[in-house]
């Protein structure tokens, strides 16, 4: 069964890389290859693109690209340093990240990402390794479940939800998305108009199972260190937790070290920050949101590597 994926901020995110025909680029989240294919179309014969993805379905899609300039890595992007080292690549001209879960993952009920389908509680982006959502929910301490739902889902009913899960699994293990959604619905008393009671809990469990925020925090400094001077970092985030990490990283790396007031040095001698923020954050246009409602929450931030020391 095929699932349609509309790449969010496709032209904007690739344009942000300011592609050089002979450059080396990294697509940290191949997905269904929208960004990768556009990057390849702008590269010359000497250019190169390395893409990462955990999802076996994405890897299968990447296998249909027979371009010799293209390399796919079946691993999370937190392995950026290690993988580039193995490929003999020291520095790159641009890194693109399209964070979060893709439309095919959400729309394939068997993956267990969505409460819209009744399916096994899996939620792993890489179905070949790691603990499923069901395995974790049925074994983790109630306190840990509450913390994950509160911290990653920003869910104010987290303690009640965790208690309900713990009580249920004592009788019978949780196995499906519908079972989890039904339990959550019993605890969530109010919710924003149009938002399912289970939205925040499913987001939280998915983020935790896939270590999404930890891996993002790990890859950002790796990406900056690998960029050549003038190289670009282009990052699309879809929810506040991701965007907060990206925003703080870029702000921190674009701020030079503060020197004591009154120090007798010239402005040109002040240490330069290693990153320069390029423009203001970009969001999807009204036309794109109308065509693809999932693009509504997307925000694109762009940074450029300077000569400043890390």
Least confident of 40-49, 110-119, 222-231, 232-241: 110-119
Could you tell me the domains of the chain? 10-103+212-305 (3.40.50.150), 127-209 (1.10.150.170)
Beta carbons of 152 and 207 less than 8 angstroms apart: yes
Is residue 77 pLDDT above 70, yes or no?
yes
Least confident of 3-12, 95-104, 253-262: 253-262
Q: What is the model's pLDDT at position 295?
A: 86
The listed range with the strongest mean pLDDT (47-51, 115-119, 129-133, 237-241) is 47-51
Question: Which region holds residue 130: left if phi is over 0, alpha if psi is between -120 and 50, else beta?
Answer: left
Residues 6+ apart with CB under 8 A from 228: 91, 92, 93, 305
Tell me if 35 is assigned to a ligand binding site: yes
| Torsions phi, psi for 250 (to 5 deg) | -65, -40
Q: What is the model's pLDDT at position 257?
A: 64
The model carries a pTM of 0.89
Q: For residues 113 and 66, what is the distance between their CA atoms, to the nearest angstrom? A: 30
Q: What is the model's pLDDT at position 1?
A: 39
Tell me if 53 is assigned to a ligand binding site: yes
Of 58, 56, 52, the C-alpha closest to 71 is 52
Q: What is the model's pLDDT at position 8?
A: 84
Tell me if 74 is assigned to a ligand binding site: no
Tell me if 239 is assigned to a ligand binding site: no
Paired sense of beta strands 275-277 and 299-305, if any: antiparallel
Tell me if 11 is assigned to a ligand binding site: no
Three-state helix/strand/coil letters over 21-78: CCCEEEECCCCCCHHHHHHHHHCCCCCEEEEEECCHHHHHHHCCCCCCCEEEEEECHH
Q: Which residue has the tokens 């959400």?
A: 106
Q: How far, rounded to the nearest angstrom, does the alpha carbon of residue 216 sit from its chain's CA centroid?
A: 7
């Amino acid at each position: 069964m095929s699932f349609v994926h509309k790449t969010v901020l496709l032209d904007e995110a690739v344009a942000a890389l300011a592609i050089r025909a002979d450059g080396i680029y990294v697509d940290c989240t191949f997905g269904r290859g929208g960004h990768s294919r556009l990057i390849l179309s702008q590269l010359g014969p000497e250019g190169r693109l390395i893409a990462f993805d955990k999802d076996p379905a994405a890897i299968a899609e990447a296998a249909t690209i027979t371009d010799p300039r293209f390399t796919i890595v079946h691993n999370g992007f937190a392995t950026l340093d290690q993988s580039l080292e193995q490929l003999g690549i020291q520095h790159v001209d641009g890194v693109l990240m399209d964070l979060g879960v893709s439309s095919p993952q959400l729309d394939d009920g068997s993956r267990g990402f969505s409460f819209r389908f009744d399916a096994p509680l899996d939620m792993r982006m890489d179905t070949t390794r790691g603990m499923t959502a069901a395995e974790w929910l049925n074994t983790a301490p109630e306190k840990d479940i509450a913390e994950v739902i509160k911290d990653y889902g920003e869910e104010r009913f987290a303690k009640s939800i965790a208690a309900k899960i713990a009580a249920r699994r004592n009788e019978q293990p949780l196995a499906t998305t519908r079972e989890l959604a039904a339990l959550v619905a019993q605890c969530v008393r109010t919710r924003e108009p149009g938002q399912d009671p289970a939205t925040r809990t499913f987001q939280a469990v998915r983020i935790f199972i896939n270590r999404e925020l930890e891996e993002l925090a790990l890859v950002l400094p790796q990406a900056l260190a690998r960029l050549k001077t003038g190289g670009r970092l282009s990052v699309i985030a879809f929810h506040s937790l991701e965007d907060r990490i990206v925003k703080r990283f870029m702000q921190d790396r674009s701020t030079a070290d503060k020197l004591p007031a009154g120090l007798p040095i010239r402005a040109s001698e002040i240490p330069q920050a290693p990153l320069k923020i390029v423009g203001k954050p970009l969001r999807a246009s009204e036309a794109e949101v109308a065509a693809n409602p999932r693009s509504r929450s997307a925000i694109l931030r762009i940074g450029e590597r300077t000569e400043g020391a890390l």
